[in-house]
Amino acid sequence: MHRFANPARFLRLSALIQPWAAAIAVACLAGGLYFALFASPADYQQGETVRIMYIHVPSAWMGLFCYTAMAVFSAMALIWKHPLADLMARASAPVGAAFTFICLVTGALWGKPMWGTWWVWDARLTSMLILLFLYLGYMALADAFDDPERGQKAAAILALVGVVNVPIIKWSVDWWNTLHQPASVVKMGGPSIDSTMMVPLILMAVGFKAYWVLVLILRTRAEIAAAKVRTLRMAQIHAAGQVEQA
């Protein structure tokens, strides 16, 4: 793992991965949306509204996945001081926040026709809202200091403390009774979802993951470039100062 913490190696490797991630994201999302909207059956209870699931559930998974990734990167940055880990944690946050937001909005749109309410304060919904606030807090804290390194350190600690929320979200529907139904896919005894509905769900989930890889690469490259520009500027200012002195 430490081998990949080298920015030059990251740039080489990411240039190789980037087109593949883009291709997989486009192919899976196009195929997934076709299956989700046209080529999959309506649910026996919920009818056509079940199609919201193909956006809602992969978004929720992404919300949890990006946060976990962010926490792992933050731990690596705190413990081993990898310069790249900080950048990648920062790069993950907006993606995860966006997917969490999509999950909450589509959940409300789905809840109104099925449950009869946009929102309830049950354990699953509330813990998911807390996840969104953790993302927003992380991003705000990381930018709240003049010295980027101090902001990064404070934000990394926040990310690690907030990671306790991830298992709470996952098992909230098992630990407490909630209005939200229990897990359908990742659970004991195998998924309780028909294979014709599993296909679009998995395609969308893979597409979202590939999209995350792509955005992570783009954003990290941009951060590396920004860091280089900063160093060059500093050198320029330094040189100018020396000329004046001479």
Partner 1 sequence: MTRKRRRLYFVVLGLLAVGTAAALVLSALRQDIVFFFSPSEIVEAKVPTEGRRIRLGGLVEQGSVVKDGASVKFRVTDGAHVVPVVYAGLLPDLFREGQGVVTEGKLGKDGVFQAAEVLAKHDENYMPKEVADSLKKSGHWQDEKKVDKP
- Interacting residues with partner 1 (CB under 8 A): 41-46, 50, 53, 75, 78-80, 113-117, 120-123, 160-161, 163-164, 168, 175-179, 181-184, 187, 192-194, 196-197
In the bound complex, what is the minimum distance in angstroms from residue 117's beta carbon to partner 1? 6
Tokens 């200012």 sit at which residue?
Answer: 237
CB of residue 29 to partner 1, shortest distance in Å: 21
User: Closest CB to partner 1 among 38 and 44?
Assistant: 44
Q: Are the beta carbons of 67 and 96 closer than 8 angstroms?
A: yes
Amino acid at 115: W
Cβ nearer to partner 1, comparing 143 with 174: 174
Rounded to the nearest 10 degrees, the angle between the axes of helix 83-114 and helix 195-245 is 140
User: CA separation (Å) from 113 to 49, 116, 195, 223?
Assistant: 8, 6, 25, 43
Q: What is the nearest approach in angstroms of partner 1 to the Cβ of residue 62? A: 20
| Nearest to 212, CA basis, from 68, 1, 13, 21 | 21
Our CB check for partner 1 shows the closer of 33 and 130 to be: 130
Which DSSP symbol is given to 4? Answer: G
Q: In the beta sheet, which residues pair with residue 47?
A: 43
Of the pair 74, 220, the CB lying nearest partner 1 is at 74
Q: Please write down the HEC assignment for all residues of 118-139.
A: CCCCCHHHHHHHHHHHHHHHHH
- Single-letter amino acid, residue 7: P
Tell me if 208 sits within 8 A of 59, measured CB to CB.
Answer: yes
In the complex, least distance from residue 178 CB atom to partner 1, rounded to whole angstroms:
5
Minimum Å gap between C-beta 246 and partner 1 is: 41
Specify the residue, 123 or 206, whose C-beta has the smaller distance to partner 1: 123
Q: Residue 125 burial (CB < 10 Å; 0-12/13-18/19+)?
A: buried
CB of 114 to partner 1, least distance (A): 6
CB 244 within 8 A of CB 48: no
- Give whichever of 6 and 46 is closer to partner 1, judged by the CB atom: 46
Minimum separation from the CB atom of position 54 to partner 1 (A): 11
Between the two ends of the chain, the Cα-to-Cα distance in Å is 47
49: which DSSP letter? G
CB nearer to partner 1: give 95 or 104.
Answer: 104
